Structure 1
Amino acid sequence: MTTPRLTDRRPDISADELVDAMTPPPRFDEVRFDTYIPNPEEPSQAAAVAACREFAERVTAAGGDERRSVLRSLFGGRKARRPDGGKQGVYLDGGFGVGKTHLLASTWHAVPGPKSYGTFVEVTNLVGVLGFTETVRRLSQHRLLAIDEFELDDPGDTMLVTRLLSKLTDAGVYVAATSNTLPEKLGEGRFAAVDFLREIHAMSERFDVVRIDGPDYRHRGLPEAPEPMDDEELAEAAAATEGATLDDFDDLCGHLAGLHASKYGRLVEGVSAVYLRGVHAAPDQDVALRLVALADRLYDRAVPVRVSGGALSSLFTEEMLSGGYRKKYLRAISRLTALSRDLAKS
C-alpha cells in the first residue's frame, strides 16, 4: 500500500472556521501557570510567571460594565482608556525554548471568554479574509487577544497589525504577545523606513515588556537530533507507521508555495508522523520561511519528523542564519530537532 503524501492534501478553511480556530494549538491544551517549571538558575522565569498571573487577573477583573463603557467611547468617537491608566498589553520577550508560548497559552486559559489566540500569521490572515472593519468588530467583543510569534517580516503587515492593535486596545481589549525581539527592535536588520520605525515605536508603547532568559528547554541535557536515515529505511519506517506521510522534500516545498501559511495547520491535521526524503538546504528565503511556518505547525501539534538526505540542522544556509530572520530559523531547527527525537524514541 502506498504511504499517503502531504502533497496530495488540499486543505481549505472558511472565515468562520478561522475565528473558531483561534485557540491554543493541541500541544498547549493542558498547560497552565502551575505546569510551568521555572529554571532555578534563571530568576526571570519565575518573575515572568508572576507577571503573567497578575496580567491574567487584571484582564479577568475587567467587568462587563467597564467594557461596555469602553466600547461606547470607541464607537461614539472618543478615544477609550483604562480606568487605571495602565497599559493593556504584556509582551514576553526571550530566546526560543524558554517557555514563552507556555506562558502565553496559560494566560489565555486563565482568562474567561470571549477571547482569541493566534499566531501573527493567523491574525494577519484573519484580516485578509474578513476585512479590517469586520475583524475589529469581532475581536472588539473579546477580553483578550493572544498573539504568538510576533515577528514582523513585512512593513505592510506591521502597519496592519499596529492599526489593528490600536483599535482593539482602544476598545478595551487586552493583548498578550510573544516574540524573540523587544517591541522597539522588531524589524531591526530587515527594514529601516521611517514610517515603519514610527509604527514600531507606537506599538511598543502599548506593552509592558517581560523578559525571560534561559537556555532552550527542549535541549537541556538531551542528545542531538538523530542522523538522517537512508531513503529505503525511511520509506519502510513510514509504511510501518499508521497515519504517517512520506514526501519528497522538493515536492513538499513546491506544494507549500501554493498554500497560504494559515492552512499549514490543516495540512498536517490528523497526521501521526511526517517523513521527508532528500532534505537539503532551502534554496532561498521564501522557501525557508515557509519551512519555518510548517515547523511551527508541526510542533504545535506534536507531529514527529524523520528525514533522509541532509540533517534538519542543515535546512538553512550560513547566510540565512546570519541574516534578519536568524531567530526564526534557529527556532525552527530547535523545534524540528525535538520532533525528530520524539519519533526516534517511538
Structure 2
Amino acid sequence: MTRIQDRYAELVQAGELHADPAQEAALPEFERIHHALEQPVKRGWFAKKPEPPKGLYLWGGVGRGKSMLMDLFVSMVNAPKRRVHFHAFMQEIQNALHEARKSNVEDAIEPVAKAVSDEVRLLAFDEMQITDIADAMIVGRLFEKLFDAGVVVVTTSNRIPDDLYKNGLNRQIFLPFIDLLKDQMEIHELTSPRDYRQDRLQGEKVYFTPANADARRAIASIWDDLTDGGEEALVLVVKGRKVEIPLYHNGVARASFHDLCGRMLGAADYLALAEVTRVLILENIPTLGRSNFNEAKRFVTLIDALYEAKVRLICSAAAEPEMLYLEGEGVFEFERTASRLREMQAEDWGGNP
C-alpha cells in the first residue's frame, strides 16, 4: 500500500507540486486515516466491528493547498467514500429530511443518517461552513448519528471550529456541534504562508473588455487552470430561499451578470456567496443606466460584498469600470464601485479573509 507521504513526494519530484513544509506536516494525519480505512472489515456473526479512526478538520487560509491534499487523500482511499462540497451535502440532507417527514416518521434524521452511513465509510467535505440556520439546527444530531455509525469525516475549512456559524441566530443551540467536532476529529491548522491560488493568477489579466470571444476564451482558460477541470453547481440556502451558482469548484465560482444581478437577489445572498467563494468569475457585465437600474443597484451591492470579503474578482465587461455607468440616477454613487473594481484588479488583491 503506497503511503500518502510517498505519493506526495512523487508528485513533487515530477514537478506537479511544490514541496511545502506546512502541507507535508499535514500528511501524517491523512495517512493515519488512510491506513485505518484500508484495514479489512471482518465478516461474520462474532466479528467485532473495527473502531473507526478519528477524522480530520483541516483549516487555514485561502489557497494553501487544503483541497489539493484532500483530493490526493481521497484518490488513494479504497473504502466506500464520498467527496462533496459541504453546502451541496447539506442541501441534499435538507431535501432528504423533507421527504422523510412525509412518511410521518418520529425522527426524520434517523433514516436520513442511516442512508448515508449505509453507503460510505468516509465522508470528505470541502469548505465546511454554516451560514443557514436550518443547517445549524440539524448538524449536531446528524453528525452524532454518522459518527455513531462509524462514518469517518474529513473536512477542510477556512475557519477554526470555534468560528463556525459565528454570530449566527440562536448560535447557543449550535455550540454542542463544535464540541462534537473537537471530540471526533483531529483539528489541524495548515499554516503555509504561500497562497497558491493567488500564485496562479500572478501577472494574469483579470478584467476583460469588451466581453467578446477573446474574453470568453481567456476566462475559460483561467477557469480550467483554477479548477483543474472540476465543476459542479452550488446551491446556497439563504433565509429559506435557494440561490444557485451555475459553476463552482473548490472555492472558485463562475456565473454571468444575469445569474447574480438579473435575479431578485440582495445583500444577504451576496454575503453568503462571498462566505464560500474566494474567487468569483463574473461574465458579461453590460453597460448600466436607466434601462437596467435595478440590476445596476444589485451589482453595486455584489461588488461591496466581494470587496469587504476580499474575494478575488475576474470578469468580462462591456466597458472599463469608469465607463460602465454613464447616465441615469446613481451615476455619482457608482464612482465608488468603479474605484473598487480598479482596486480589485491589483495583483496583490485578496488574501486571507
Matches within 5 A, 1:1-346: 33=8, 35=11, 37=17, 39-40=19-20, 43-61=21-39, 63-65=41-43, 83=51, 88-131=54-97, 132-141=109-118, 142-191=120-169, 193-214=171-192, 215-220=194-199, 223=202, 226=205, 228-230=207-209, 233-237=210-214, 260=242, 264-265=246-247, 276=257, 284-290=267-273, 308=285, 315-317=302-304, 321=308, 329-330=309-310, 332-333=311-312
Per-residue CA deviation, residues 63-91 of structure 1 (Å, 9 max, x unaligned), is 244999678xxxxxxxxxx64xx753111
Give the distance between the partners of 2:126 and 2:136, measured in 1 at CA: 15
Paired AA for residue 272 in structure 2: L
How far apart in 2 are the matches of 1:228 and 1:234?
10
* Counterpart Cα distance in 1 of 2:27 and 2:164: 24
Secondary structure of the 1:317 match is helix
What is the deviation of 1:59?
1.8
SS of 2:246's partner is helix
- Structure of higher CA gyration radius: 2
Determine the C-alpha separation between the residues in 2 that align with 1:198 and 1:111.
Answer: 30
Deviations 1:235-280 (A, max 9, x none): 3536889999xxxxxxxxxxx99984577349x9xxxx96658999
2:208 aligned counterpart, secondary structure? coil
Whole-angstrom CA distance in 2 between matches of 1:241 and 1:211: 35
* Matched letter for residue 304 of structure 2: T
Structure 2 residues not aligned, in runs of 5+: 1-6, 98-108, 222-236, 288-298, 316-344, 347-353
> 1 CA distance for matches of 2:260 and 2:148?
47
- Secondary structure of 1:90 counterpart: strand
Q: Given the superposition, is the C-alpha separation of residues 261 and 138 from structure 1 closer, same or farther in structure 2, using an over 3 Å criterion?
A: farther
- 2:57, 2:185 within 8 Å by CA — same for their partners in 1? yes
The amino acid of 1:154's aligned partner reads D
Residue 306 of structure 1 deviates from its aligned partner by 5.2
Secondary structure of the residue that 1:140 maps to in structure 2? Answer: helix
Q: CA deviation at 1:163?
A: 1.8
Percentage of identical aligned residues? 21
Q: Which residue of 2 aligns with 1:325?
A: none
Residues 139, 335 of structure 1: CA spacing in aligned structure 2 closer, same or farther, 3 A cutoff? Answer: farther
Deviations 1:120-148 (A, max 9, x none): 11111111222234432222121101111
- AA matched with 1:286: D
Equivalent AA in structure 2 for residue 106 of structure 1: L
Cα distance in 2, alignment partners of residues 45 and 206 from structure 1? 22
Report SS of the residue matched to 2:212.
helix
Query: Which of structures 1 and 2 has the larger relative contact order (alpha carbons within 8 angstroms, sep 6+)?
Result: 1
Name structure 1 gaps, 5 residues minimum: 1-31, 72-81, 245-255, 322-328, 342-346
Distance 2:204 2:241 in 1: 28
**TM-score normalised by L of structure 2:** 0.58
SS at match of 1:195: helix
Deviation at 1:305, TM superposition (A): 5.8
Quickly say closer, same or farther: Cα 1:57–1:261, change in 2 above 3 A. Answer: farther
Q: Hey, what's the Cα distance between the residues in 1 that align with 2:139 and 2:73?
A: 21
Structure 2 Cα separation of the partners of residues 316 and 227 of structure 1: 15
Per-residue CA distance 1:86-112 (angstroms, 9 max, x = gap):
753111111110111111122221111
Instruction: Tell me the TM-score normalised to structure 1 length.
Output: 0.59
CA separation in 2, counterparts of 1:173 and 1:38? 32
Q: Which has the higher strand share?
A: 2
CA shift in 2, pair 1:209/1:146, >3 Å: same
What amino acid is aligned across from residue 219 of structure 1 in structure 2? Q
Deviation at 1:44, TM superposition (A): 2.5
Shift of 1:202: 2.6
Aligned residues between the structures: 260
The answer as to whether partners of 1:108 and 1:146 remain within 8 angstroms in 2 is yes
Q: SS of 1:61's equivalent?
A: coil
Shift in CA distance, 156/200, structure 1 to aligned 2, threshold 3 Å: farther
The 3 A distance-change label for structure 1 pair 33 and 239 is closer
Report the secondary structure of 2:205's partner residue: coil
Aligned to 1:23: none
Q: CA deviation at 1:182?
A: 1.7
In 2, Cα distance between equivalents of 1:197 and 1:127: 20
